[in-house]
Amino acid sequence: TSAEQSPVQPKVKSKNMDVTKIWTETAATRRPAAAFVVIGHVDHGKSTLMGRLLLDTGAVHQRDIDRFRKEATEQGKASFALAWVMDTSADERERGVTVDIAQHHFSTDTADFTILDAPGHRDFVPNMIGGASMADIGVLVVDANQLESGLKGQTREHVLLARAVGLERIVVAVNKMDGAVPAWDQHLFRSVSEEVRKLLTETGFDRDNIKLVPCSGLNGDNVATPPAASGLTAWVTQSSQTLISALEDFAGSTATSSESLNNHLRLQITDIFHASSQHPISVSGRISAGTVQIGEPITIMPSSELASIKAIDVADSPVEYAVAGQLVTLHLTADDIEQLERNVRIGDMLCSSSSPIEVVSDFTTTLLSYQPLLPGPVEVHIGRLQLPGRTTSLLELVDAAGGTVKRKPRIVKAGLRAKVKVTVDRALPGDEGDRVVIRADGETLGSGTISGLGERWIGAA
Ligand code: GDP
Contact 398, 366 (CB under 8 A): yes
Which residue's alpha carbon is at the smallest distance from atom 14 of ligand 1? 79
Structure-derived torsion over alpha carbons of residues 428, 361, 426, 118, reported in degrees to the nearest 10: -40
Q: Of 152-156, 249-253, 421-425, give the range with the top mean pLDDT.
A: 421-425
Q: Tell me if residue 327 falls in helix, strand or coil.
A: strand
pLDDT of residue 13: 84
Whether the predicted pLDDT of 143 surpasses 60 = yes
Whether the predicted pLDDT of 459 surpasses 80 = no
Side chain identity, residue 44 = H
Side chain identity, residue 151 = L
Average pLDDT of the chain is 89
Ligand 1 neighbours by CB, cut-off 6 Å: 42-48, 79-80, 83, 175-176, 178-179, 216-218
Q: Which atom of ligand 1 is nearest to the CA of 175?
A: 23
pLDDT of residue 121: 53
Helix (H) / strand (E) element for 293: namely strand 291-293
Contact 366, 446 (CB under 8 A): no
Of 58-72, 307-321, 359-373, 374-388, which gets the smallest average pLDDT?
58-72
pLDDT of residue 8: 64
| β-pairing verdict for 305-314 and 327-333 | antiparallel
**pLDDT classification of 3: cutoffs 50, 70, 90:** very low
pLDDT of residue 127: 86
pLDDT of residue 405: 96
**pLDDT classification of 98: cutoffs 50, 70, 90:** low
- Taking the centre of ligand 1 as the mean of its atom positions, its distance from the CA of residue 84, in whole angstroms, is 11
For the whole model, what pTM was predicted? Answer: 0.92
Structure-derived torsion over alpha carbons of residues 223, 229, 231, 237, reported in degrees to the nearest 10: 50
**pLDDT classification of 291: cutoffs 50, 70, 90:** very high
Residue from 37, 48, 89 to probe ligand 1 pocket by mutation (most atoms less than 8 Å from CB): 48
- Is ipTM beyond 0.85? yes
Whether the predicted pLDDT of 192 surpasses 80 = yes
- Taking the centre of ligand 1 as the mean of its atom positions, its distance from the CA of residue 229, in whole angstroms, is 23
- Taking the centre of ligand 1 as the mean of its atom positions, its distance from the CA of residue 47, in whole angstroms, is 7
Choose between 353 and 97: higher pLDDT. 353
- Taking the centre of ligand 1 as the mean of its atom positions, its distance from the CA of residue 80, in whole angstroms, is 7
Q: Compute CA distances 369 → 200, 338, 417, 442, whole Å.
A: 18, 42, 6, 15
